[in-house]
Structure 1
Amino acid sequence: MSANVIAGPQVFSTGSLEYSGKAVDGVVHVPGVRYGERLDAADRFSPLRDPSPGRAQAGSTVFPQSPGSLDWLMGPALSSLEQDEDSFLLDIWTPEGALDLPVLVFLPGGAFISGAGNVGWYDGARLAAEGNAVVVTVSYRLGALALLGGSGVPLNLGVQDILQALTWISANISAFGGDPAAVTLAGHSAGAWYAYVLSLAPAAKGLFCRTALFSLPWQPPLSPAAYAERRELFNGFLKDALDGGTPDGALDGGSLATAPVPAILEAQAAVGKAYAGRGLGLVPAADGGLVPDWAMDFRRAASSLHVESLLLSSTDNEAAAFLHPVPVAAVSPEQVAGFVAGHFEEAPEVLDFLDSRIPDATPHAKLVEAMSLHQFRLAATELAGRANAAGVEATLLRFSVPSKLDGVGSPHCFELPFLFGNREDWRDAPMLRGFPEDSFEAVSGQLRSLLLSFVANGRPRSADGEPLDRFTADHPQLHALAADGVVAGTIEPELRARR
C-alpha cells in the first residue's frame, strides 16, 4: 500500500475570517471550524451568533457528556476527547480545487446526551473523495444543558445550534468549494431526529434540499406536562448532586445555570436510570416553534416537509443494541406479550407475525424484533408513504448485514463504519470484531454509493449504477443492503403501532 500523499497547509477565507487545513490524498480537512458563539458568553443557555473575528477555529473538543450507553458496542473513541461547553464546531472535508460541489452535512447521534461530529468515527475524507463532495460534521449541545435550560418553556438548544450551523454553512460553504444550493442534511439516531424536525421547520427552509435519515427513532417531543416532570425530577437529582442545593430545597433555572458540569452529568444520569424501561430520560420537548407537538404525526408532518427527497434507512435489529445487556433468560413470553399489547393496536396479529418471522427464536429475540419494529422500521415505512403522498420523493432502505458479535444481528449504529468507510477509526468497536475485510469493503462501497448518489441528485444508486425505485403507494418498495449487495426487501404487514 502506498503512503498517503500529504500536502502543505491550505487556507480558506470567508470575509474577515481565515481557516487552515491540510490536504491528504487530495482531500483537505479543515478541523475545528467555529460556526457560532454565545450572544452572552457568561450564559451557558445563550442563543448563538456568528463567530467573532479571531475565533475562526478551535481545538477539537466535545460538549460535556458521560460515557455513552453503547460504548460496549461502538468502542470508547468519544472518551478520549477533551470536553468543553464552547464546542460549537464543524469539521469540513473538501477535495482540493473544489468548486460548486454538493454538500453533505452529517449530524451524529447519541440519545440526545452524548456524541460529537469531530470524533474519528465520522471522518469524512473518503466520502468527500469518492463523492466529489464537501462533507461537514456538526457538534451541538447535549443533555440537560441543551434540553432543560430556561424556565417553564423548553429552549431546545441542540436544534437551535444545528440551525445556526446550517445558516453558517449556507453563508460560507462556497469558500470551501461547496454549493449552498445543493446541501443534503443527514443524521443518525438522535441526529436523524433533529434532521427530520428541521426538515419541517420553516426557519430551515432553503438551507438544505434533501434529507437522509439513518435510524430515525419514533420519539414524540415531550408535552408541557412531561417536560415539567423531567425538569422537576432532574432538579431533585441535581440538588442531591450539589450536596444540599438551595436552602428551601427548590431549584430554579439559576441553579442549573451555575452548577458544575460533573453535578449536571450525575443528575442527568439519574434521570436516565429513573426512566429505564420507559424510554429516554432527556429528550426534546414541544416548544411551539422549531419542535412542534405534531412532529411525529407523519400524516400531518409530511405536508410540512420543505425538502425535495428523503432517504430513510434502518437496520434489521435496531433494538439489539439496547437489549443485548439484558440476559436472554430474563425475558419471558409474558413480557413480550405485554410489550406488544402496550405498543400495537392488534396484539394477536403482531405476535403471529413474530412467530412467523423468527419462529424458533427466544422471547428475548422476539422482544428485540418487536421493539425494532415499533421504534424504527415501521416509522420509516410510514414516513416514506406519507412523504410520497405529499409529493416528496422517498427511498426506503434496510441495512441487513449482521455483525459477527454474538446475539446482536444488525444492531443500531452498525451501519456507521460502513457509511464512512473508515474501519481503522473503529478499530476499538466490538461490533466489527471478526468482520472480514473484503466483505467490509464490499458492503461499505454499496452504502457509500447509495448515499453519495443521493447527495449528488436525490436518487440513490447502487455501486453498479442502478437507481433504486422510489417508495410509492402502488409500489411500496423496500431495498435491503445485504452482504451480497442491494436486493429487494419485504415490507412488513400493516402492523399498527400505538402512536
Structure 2
Amino acid sequence: MTATLLINAPSRRCRADGVEVQAWYGLRYAQGTHRFKAAQAATGRVAATSLGQVPLFPQRPSRLAAVMGAGSANPQSEDAYFLNVWAPAQAQGLPVVFFIHGGAWMSGGASLDWYDGTRLAAQGVVVVNVNYRLGALGHLGDAQADDLPLPAADLFLALQWVKDRIHAFGGDPDMITLMGQSAGGWYAHLLSVLESTRGWIDRVALLSMGTRTPWTSEQQRKTTERVRQSLGDQWLMADVDTLMQHGMLALDKEPPRLAHAPSAFLPVASAGMPPDLLNPDWAAQTCHAQAVYLRCTAQESSVFFFDVPFHRQATQEQVDQALGVWPAEDLPANLLRNGVYQGAESGLTPYQQVVAASSWLQFQRFPTQYAASLKAAGRAVVWSGFTEQSPLDAVFSGHCFDLPFQFGNFLAWQDAPMMQGVTQERFECVSQDLRGGIARFVGA
C-alpha cells in the first residue's frame, strides 16, 4: 500500500490539547526472511483500529513490571516489523521524532499504549514509534548475519522507511530526531555515529541511555551453542519463551553483585559496530547529528534494586567491601571525597549508596562525559536532569519514571506502582515541561 493511500486513511483521529491529531497504526517497514537473519525492506499495513491490535515481537514479562506495571496486552508475533505514526491534521514539513523504546534488550514495543504519540504530536511534531527484535530473536545466531546487530539492522530499515516516506504524513525528512530510551538510547546513539546514516539524522535525544559494552561474537556463539545443544534439532523452531529460558541460563547461575543489574542479552559486536562506540571523545567527534539532548533520572538503578533484599537490606560493611574496591572513576561525585570512596560519610544510607554507584556506572557516567566532550568539540548539547520522585517507596527518581510524563499518557500508566499517588495536576505540570522541552529541541 502506498504512503498516499495510507495518509488518506488514518487509523484514528482525535483531539488532544486542542489539536486535531491523526494516527496510523501498524505500518510495515520490513519483512523477516529467516529466524536470526537480517530482514528486508517491505511495505504494508495491519488492519488495526487501535494501537493494542498491533503485534509486538515475542517477549517475556518485563522485569520492571513491579515498578512500571504490565502495559497493554498486544498480540505477539515474530513478524512484528511495524511502526506507528502520529501527526497533527494538515501537517506539512514538521520535525519528526523517531522513538526507540527500551526494555533491557528483552522487552517492550512501539505499540504499547505507554508510547501513544498523540499528545507529543500535538506539540507540533510528527511522532514515529518502532518495533525491533528483542531477546533471543535479536541476539542469538551469527554475529555476521548483518553488519549490525540484528535489532540495529531492523532500526536502520525503519529509519530508511521514515526517510523515504514521512513527507506523506506531514514530516520533514531532513528534520528527523532519534529519541531513544534505555536500550533504545543505546541504539539511537549507535545510529547517530554510523557513516551509513549520515544525512538521515538532524538531532538525537538519549534518555537514560543504556551504556553496556556489547557482547563479543564469541559470547554470542557460546550462548547460541548452549541453546542449540539444549534444544537439539528443534532449536530453530522452538517457541521464543523456550529460547529465552535457555538463553538466560548463565544469568540465573551468576552470583549477585551489589550495585550491579545484569542483562541476559546484549547487542553483539558485529562487523559494522564502531569499536569506540562508548568512547565519549570519539563519539563527540563522530556523531553527525546537529545537536544532542541528554537526560538521566537522578536515581536510575533504584528500580532494579528496590524490591531485592540483597541490595535493599545491604549493611554498610557489605557496601564498603563492594564499593571500596571500585576505581574512583566508576563512582559518582557524591560518594567521593578527594577522589576516595567515603561510604557512610557521604550521608547516604547503604541502599542509597548502592543505587548511586550503580546509577552512575550503568547509566549516568557516559552521558555526563559525552556532554563534556561534545561541548569541548564545539557541538550543540542540551542536558536535562530528571529529579521528580515516585511515591513508591525506595524508587525515588528511578529509571523509566520519566516516560509517562514524556508521552503524557496518564491513563495508560494507571496500573504502574511507580505512579500510584501521583496527582493528575502534578502529572500535567511535569508532562508539559518534558513534552515542550523535546518539541523545542527538535525545532517545533
Q: TM-score with structure 1 length normalisation?
A: 0.79
Give 1:405 deviation, angstroms: 0.6
The 2-side partners of 1:159 and 1:169 are apart by 15
Per the alignment, in what secondary structure is the counterpart of residue 117 of structure 1? coil
Asked if the contact 2:136/2:265 (under 8 Å) is kept, the reply is: yes
Give 1:15 deviation, angstroms: 6.0
Task: Show the counterpart of 1:96.
Answer: 89
* Pairing of 1:95-494 with structure 2 (within 5 A): 95-129=88-122, 131-150=123-142, 156-223=149-216, 227-237=217-227, 239-240=229-230, 242=231, 245=232, 256-275=235-254, 277=257, 279-289=262-272, 291-327=273-309, 328-345=312-329, 351-353=335-337, 359-456=346-443
Per the alignment, in what secondary structure is the counterpart of residue 82 of structure 1? coil
Cα distance 1:361–1:349, how it changes in 2: closer, same or farther (>3 A)?
closer
Q: Which has the higher contact order (CA 8 A, sep 6+)?
A: 2
Per the alignment, in what secondary structure is the counterpart of residue 61 of structure 1? coil
Asked if the contact 2:316/2:344 (under 8 Å) is kept, the reply is: no
Q: What amino acid sits opposite 1:124 in the alignment? A: G
CA deviation digits over 1:54-109, x for unaligned, max 9?
Answer: x333550100111111011000115x121100000111111111111111111000
Cα distance 1:102–1:405, how it changes in 2: closer, same or farther (>3 A)?
same
The 1-side partners of 2:322 and 2:375 are apart by 34
The 1-side partners of 2:274 and 2:124 are apart by 36
Max Rg structure: 1
Cα distance 1:238–1:342, how it changes in 2: closer, same or farther (>3 A)?
farther
The 2-side partners of 1:346 and 1:14 are apart by 48
Asked if the contact 1:271/1:282 (under 8 Å) is kept, the reply is: no
The 2-side partners of 1:337 and 1:432 are apart by 34
Q: What amino acid sits opposite 2:39 in the alignment? A: L
Q: What amino acid sits opposite 2:306 in the alignment? A: H
Cα distance 1:416–1:85, how it changes in 2: closer, same or farther (>3 A)?
same
The 1-side partners of 2:220 and 2:186 are apart by 20
CA deviation digits over 1:470-491, x for unaligned, max 9?
Answer: xxxxxxxxxxxxxxxxxxxxxx
Instruction: Specify which of 71, 74, 79 is matched with residue 68 of structure 2.
Output: 74
Q: TM-score with structure 2 length normalisation?
A: 0.89
Q: Give unmatched runs, 5+ long, in structure 1.
A: 1-11, 247-254, 458-499
Q: What amino acid sits opposite 1:447 in the alignment? A: L
1:14 partnered with 2:3: yes
Asked if the contact 2:220/2:268 (under 8 Å) is kept, the reply is: no
Give 1:385 deviation, angstroms: 1.0
Cα distance 1:100–1:339, how it changes in 2: closer, same or farther (>3 A)?
same
Asked if the contact 1:340/1:347 (under 8 Å) is kept, the reply is: no
Give 1:347 deviation, angstroms: 7.1
1:60 partnered with 2:43: no
Asked if the contact 1:101/1:179 (under 8 Å) is kept, the reply is: yes
Give 1:266 deviation, angstroms: 1.4
Q: What amino acid sits opposite 2:46 in the alignment? A: Q
The 2-side partners of 1:144 and 1:370 are apart by 29
The 2-side partners of 1:293 and 1:99 are apart by 39
Give 1:259 deviation, angstroms: 2.9
Asked if the contact 1:310/1:394 (under 8 Å) is kept, the reply is: yes
Q: What amino acid sits opposite 1:284 in the alignment? A: P
Give 1:288 deviation, angstroms: 2.8
The 2-side partners of 1:393 and 1:133 are apart by 21
Q: What amino acid sits opposite 1:72 in the alignment? A: A
Give 1:345 deviation, angstroms: 4.4
Q: What amino acid sits opposite 1:67 in the alignment? A: P
Task: Show the counterpart of 1:28.
Answer: 22
Cα distance 1:61–1:348, how it changes in 2: closer, same or farther (>3 A)?
closer
Cα distance 1:337–1:450, how it changes in 2: closer, same or farther (>3 A)?
farther
Asked if the contact 1:87/1:139 (under 8 Å) is kept, the reply is: yes
CA deviation digits over 1:24-58, x for unaligned, max 9?
Answer: 111111101111113x3xx1233233325xx3335
The 2-side partners of 1:356 and 1:331 are apart by 11
CA deviation digits over 1:391-428, x for unaligned, max 9?
Answer: 32111111001001111110000000010111101011
Q: What amino acid sits opposite 1:123 in the alignment? A: D
CA deviation digits over 1:439-495, x for unaligned, max 9?
Answer: 1111111111111100116xxxxxxxxxxxxxxxxxxxxxxxxxxxxxxxxxxxxxx
Asked if the contact 1:221/1:295 (under 8 Å) is kept, the reply is: no
Asked if the contact 2:140/2:223 (under 8 Å) is kept, the reply is: no
The 2-side partners of 1:97 and 1:20 are apart by 12
Percent identical residues: 34
The 1-side partners of 2:315 and 2:265 are apart by 26
Per the alignment, in what secondary structure is the counterpart of residue 135 of structure 1? strand
Paired positions, count:
424
Q: Give unmatched runs, 5+ long, in structure 2.
A: 48-52
Moved more, 357-366 or 403-412: 357-366
